[in-house]
Structures are given as structure tokens and as C-alpha cells.
Amino acid sequence: MSNPAQKRALANYRQRLSQKGLARFEVLGLDTDRDLIRSLAKRLAQNDSEATRLRAELRRSVTGEPPQKGSILAALRQSPLVSAEIDLTRNIPRS
């Protein structure tokens, strides 16, 4: 790539990625996994709570770590029903 305009465009593109906290990298894998890897990378790049959960799951799966304690409670706290003010009291008939 000897064209100065192309070099400048590439440098600007990499700078914009860096400002967003993203990095471009190359990995080797099976051709059949290409779409999976790309969709995973896009999902992780969103850097939201779902991406954080996905990272933790992948890390645990790849490293073989046991699940952390309290994960059920954390999942329940993320439920959309947390602020729904649902009355869950039961009326137990007396015999």
C-alpha cells in the first residue's frame, strides 16, 4: 500500500477504533466457525451487561472454572420484574 491517501485512511480508521476502545486482530479457526466468531465479536463489542455475562460464561467454559456462588441471585436481580411491584402473598384457607 504505497498510496499516501490509503495509509492516512487506514491510520484514521485505526485511531477511531482505538478511541472506541476496540482493537482489530486476526484469529485462526475453522472456516465453518467464521460467522459464529464474527457474531460473538460483535456481541462482545457492545460492552453491555449481556456482553459481560457472555464473557463470564465463555471464560468459565474455556478455563473450566466452577460457577460462582450467588449467580442465581444476580440473575433474579437483573429480571425485568424486579420493579414490577407484584404481590406474591398467598392466601392460605384455614380448615
**What range does the domain containing 43 cover?**
28-67
In a domain, 79, yes or no: no
In a domain, 88, yes or no: no
The amino acid occupying position 72 is I
In a domain, 9, yes or no: no
In a domain, 92, yes or no: no
Count Cα atoms within 13 angstroms, Cβ side, for 35: 1
How many structural domains are present in the chain?
Answer: 1
In a domain, 8, yes or no: no
Pair 67, 57: CB distance under 8 Å: no
- The yes-or-no verdict on residue 31 having pLDDT over 90 is yes
In a domain, 38, yes or no: yes
In a domain, 49, yes or no: yes
* pLDDT at residue 55 in the model: 92
**pLDDT tens-digit series, residues 32-90:** 999 999 999 999 999 898 999 999 889 988 888 776 677 777 777 777 777 777 777 88
